[in-house]
Amino acid sequence: MATQAVSSKTPAALGFRMPAEWEEQEAVWLSWPHNRATWPGLFRGIPAAFATYVAAISPFQKVRINCAMALQPLARQFCEKAGADMTVVEFYDHLTNDTWCRDHGPIFVKHRQTGEVAVTDWMHNAWGNKYPPYDLDNEIPPAIARSLKLRRFEKSMVLEGGSIDVNGQGLLLSTEQCLLNKNRNPELSRKEIERALKDYLGVRRILWLGEGIEGDDTDGHIDDISRFFRPDGVITCVESNRRSPNHQILAANLERLQGFTTMRGRPLEIVELPMPKPLQIKGQAVPASYANFLVINGAVLVPTFQQPRRDAKACGIIGGCFPGREIVPVDCAEIIWGLGTLHCLSQQQPA
C-alpha cells in the first residue's frame, strides 16, 4: 500500500479519478456528533438518531467513525442500542469540531489502472467562515490518510464534498452560488476553479446549476438539489407550489439540466423528485430534501421527514433510479435541525 505523502503531480495527471457513488465501496466515513451548537436546544436526541443511521449502514458495509477517544465508549453504547452490527463499526481517535464529514472529510480518488485509492485534501472554512472554529475539521483528511496509509494530494482551495457530484465518467455537477461564492475562493476565477476540479478529481466537464434551496446555510450545495444516479441520468428536485421560494430556483436548475449532455453529446435522462412539505424548526426554515440520499453497496439510504405520503413517494422514485438496491428510509426529522441529513453526514471510501 502506498505511504501517506504529498505529491507535486496532480491526481488526474497520475491516472486518478473520483468514482461515482454507486461504484463499489470499502466503507462509509462519519464524524460522531458532539457539538451542541449544531442543534441548538435539540441536541439531546441527536446521538441516538445518528446511531440509527450507523445501524442502517452496517448490514451493507463498514462504518468508520471519527470520534475522540473520550467519546467512544458512549458512542459504542448508542450504536449497540440502535442495533448496529458492531463487527463492521470502527472508531478512529480523530478529533473534530463538527459532524459534517461530507464537507470536512477527504474526497477519495481511485487510480484508473491499478485501483489504488488516495485522498484529496482540500481546505475547509466552515461554509464561508460561518461556524468557527474549524481547525480540527481541517485535519481530518490528513488524519484519515495517515490511519489508512493512503497517498494524499493537498490542494489549497476551499471545497466541500457536498458541493459536487460526479458520474464517474467525466462529468461533475455543482452550483454557481456555492463554488463561485466570494466567501470560499475570492481570488480564483471560474476557469481556475474548473481547472482545479479537473486536475484533482479527474473530471473533464463541469455542469453548473444556479442556486440551492431555502434554508441551506452551505450556499447551495448540489447534494440537496440534483444528483447523478447513473452516468447519463440525473435525479433533480422540483417544487410544484408556485408560492414557495424553491419553485423558481428549482425550475431554473431543471431548465439548465435539460440543456446538458454526456461526454458523448447525448442528452441526460432527468428524473424529477418532489420536495418534502416545507419544514420549520423554531421558526427557521430548514433545507429538508430527499436528494440528500446516500448510495452504498446494495442499498440507498433515503432521508425521510415524518411525511408518510411524500416520504413513500420519494422512496419509490429513488428506488426506480437504483434497481437492484434496497431502499432504506432513515428518519431525519431531528437531524435536519443541524441543516443537513444523510449525505451531508457521510463520505464514501471507494473499494
Residue 28 falls in which region: left (phi positive, over 0), alpha (psi -120 to 50) or beta: beta
Among candidate residues 196, 330, 340, 205, the one with its CA nearest the CA of residue 279: 340
By DSSP bridging, strand 89-92 and strand 62-66 are parallel
344 is a catalytic site residue: yes
Angle formed at CA 136 by CA 130 and CA 139, multiple of 5 degrees: 115
Task: Say which residues have a Cβ less than 8 Å from residue 322's Cβ, sequence separation at least 6.
Answer: 22, 229, 295, 300
What are the helix (H) ranges across the chain? 11-14, 46-57, 72-82, 101-104, 126-129, 135-138, 140-148, 176-179, 190-201, 245-258, 308-321, 342-345
Question: In the sheet that 62-66 helps form, which strands lie side by side, from edge to edge?
Answer: 89-92, 62-66, 25-31, 346-350
> % helix / strand / coil in the chain, to the nearest 5?
35, 25, 40
Task: Say if CB 96 and CB 140 are below 8 A apart.
Answer: yes
Which among 67, 101, 332, 344 is annotated as catalytic?
Answer: 344
Secondary structure (3-state) at 8: coil
By DSSP bridging, strand 117-123 and strand 233-238 are unpaired
Among candidate residues 71, 69, 57, 66, the one with its CA nearest the CA of residue 27: 57
H or E element in which residue 92 lies: strand 89-92
Q: Which residue has the cell 463498514?
A: 62
Task: Say if CB 107 and CB 161 are below 8 A apart.
Answer: yes
Tell me which DSSP letter residue 267 carries.
Answer: B
Positions marked catalytic = 344
